[in-house]
């Protein structure tokens, strides 16, 4: 399976279990690895036969900016489901980063990574 990767997509969301996270919001970063067969698109040089990563990026940003959830696990699941709606995509790996998580000790990043595929 071939891979199309999008790394470092940033959007502001209001996800989290604490009221301050819901009220103030914070930046979330999303990495995607989309598994698909790129041969048909490459053979015909045809965007319609692959996944349009620009559209996927916009959809993911809308999800991050959209309805708040408590857990980044839930956000990752929503993103994976949306990616799998694109016909060529057979598998997706989603990593949601929460670099400004409310943690009382120094840290670089918090991430959740999930992999989902078509049933």
Confidence of residue 119 (pLDDT cuts 50, 70, 90): confident
Among residues 56, 98, 102, 112, which one is catalytic? Answer: 98
Q: Where are the domains of the chain?
A: 2-117
Q: Mind listing the pLDDT tens digit for each residue in 17-55?
A: 999 999 999 999 999 999 999 999 999 999 999 999 999
Other C-beta atoms lying within 10 Å of the C-beta of residue 11: 17
Is-catalytic flag, 85?
A: no
**Pairwise CA distance, residues 25 & 66, whole Å:** 11
Strand ranges, E, within the chain: 2-13, 26-36, 91-97, 111-117
Angle at 48 between CA 43 and CA 53, to 5 degrees: 105
- Joined together, the tokens standing for residue 66 give 């959209």
- Give me the mean pLDDT over the 72-90 stretch: 98
Domain 2-117 belongs to what topology? Answer: GTP Cyclohydrolase I, domain 2 (3.30.1130)
Residue 2's pLDDT is 98
**Pairwise CA distance, residues 6 & 22, whole Å:** 26
Q: Which of 8, 34, 50, 29 is CA-nearest to residue 92? A: 34
Q: Mind listing the pLDDT tens digit for each residue in 61-80?
A: 999 999 999 999 999 999 99
Q: What is the mean pLDDT of the chain?
A: 97
């Amino acid at each position: 399976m071939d891979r199309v990767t999008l790394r470092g997509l940033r959007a502001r969301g209001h996800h989290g279990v604490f009221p301050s996270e819901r009220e103030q919001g914070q930046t979330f970063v999303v990495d995607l690895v989309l598994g698909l067969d790129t041969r048909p698109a490459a053979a015909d040089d045809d965007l319609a036969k692959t996944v349009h990563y620009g559209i996927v990026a916009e959809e993911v940003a809308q999800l991050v900016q959209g309805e708040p959830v408590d857990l980044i696990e839930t956000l990752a699941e929503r993103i994976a489901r949306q990616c799998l709606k694109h016909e060529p995509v057979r598998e997706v790996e989603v990593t949601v980063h929460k670099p400004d998580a409310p943690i009382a000790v120094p840290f670089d990043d918090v991430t959740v990574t999930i992999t989902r595929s078509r049933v």
